[in-house]
Amino acid sequence: MSRSTSPVPFVNDLFDPVPDTGPYREALAPGAVILRNFARDRVEEMAEAIRGVLRRAPLKAMHTPGGLPMTVKTSSCGNAGWVSDEHGYRYARVRAHGASEWPPIPEPLMQLALAAARAADYPDFVPDFCLINYYRPGAKLGLHQDKDERDPNAPIVSLSLGLPAEFLFGGNERSDKTRTVWLYSGDVVVWGGPSRMAFHGVKPVADGIDPVFGHCRVNLTFRKAL
């Protein structure tokens, strides 16, 4: 009960803890589902894979097309890198002159994305790109759509790691009503079909300590971008 509404357990939970649940599905919207605890047993493995990517493609603070800095830092792996600057949002197949290629999607991450897509009834999904979003406490992401990918039939697979966060999920228009759900380390959200272009965002992340990630939240979105 406390887990589904707040990251802070009731005092009673400390004395009479609710047993951890295993993986289960939660409907979010038509075509969209939350796979609770989907990667819970593989969080350390995910962390190690992410560390490997970030060594080769360090996190960077992007700016919006309007020129203002984003609070979230990003990196990329797969066949492109996500770029936001004064020219807009885009996927860059090649890195800046002098830089090596984007690191490939690590195999454990790829396998997790494929399994999650299958569990969410998108069995044909094969991502070619993964965006790494890194949130320090206070970082947030305003309501937006993922609409720069070539194939609108491919879903988005989103893995949450580290500190919990409130995720906003709306409809195809910015003014549509949004649902707010807490996402915890190891949860996966998949949206596609009628929800593929749904507006979504993340509220400012509250400080805390995650046993594996410490004072940060890391979100991975797997996409068919090219």
Partner DNA sequence: GAGTATCG
Partner DNA sequence: GGTA
Instruction: Please select the residue that binds DNA; options are 97, 175, 177, 211, rule is CB under 7 A.
Output: 175
- Contact of 76 with 93, CB cutoff 8 Å: no
Which CB, 118 or 144, lies closer to DNA?
Answer: 144
Nearest to 116 by CA among 34, 197, 179: 34
Please say which residue, 37 or 84, places its beta carbon nearer to DNA. Answer: 84
Report the residue from 22, 65, 152, 194 that binds DNA according to the rule CB under 7 A: 65
Residues contacting DNA: total by CB under 7 A = 24
Q: Shortest gap between Cβ of 95 and DNA (angstroms)?
A: 17
Q: Which of 30, 142, 152, 194 binds DNA (CB under 7 A)?
A: 142
66 near DNA, rule: CB under 7 A: yes
Q: How far is the CB of 43 from DNA (least distance, A)?
A: 23
Give the contact letters, 73-102, x = binds to DNA (CB under 7 A), - = no: ---------x-x--xxx-------------
The long-range contacts involving 145-149, CB below 8 angstroms and separated by at least 24 positions, are: 145/197, 145/198, 145/199, 145/200, 146/197, 146/221, 146/223, 147/197, 148/89, 148/90, 148/91, 148/225, 149/91, 149/223, 149/224, 149/225
Pick the closer one to DNA by CB: 131 or 161.
131
For 86, phi then psi, to 5°, come to -60, -15
User: CB of residue 9 vs DNA: minimum separation in angstroms?
Assistant: 30
- 114 near DNA, rule: CB under 7 A: no
Determine if 178 is a binding residue for DNA (CB under 7 A). no
- The residue type found at 10 is F
Q: Is 143 one of the binding residues for DNA (CB under 7 A)?
A: yes
Residues that bind DNA in the complex, under the rule CB under 7 A = 64-66, 68, 70-72, 82, 84, 87-89, 131, 140-144, 146, 148, 173-175, 201
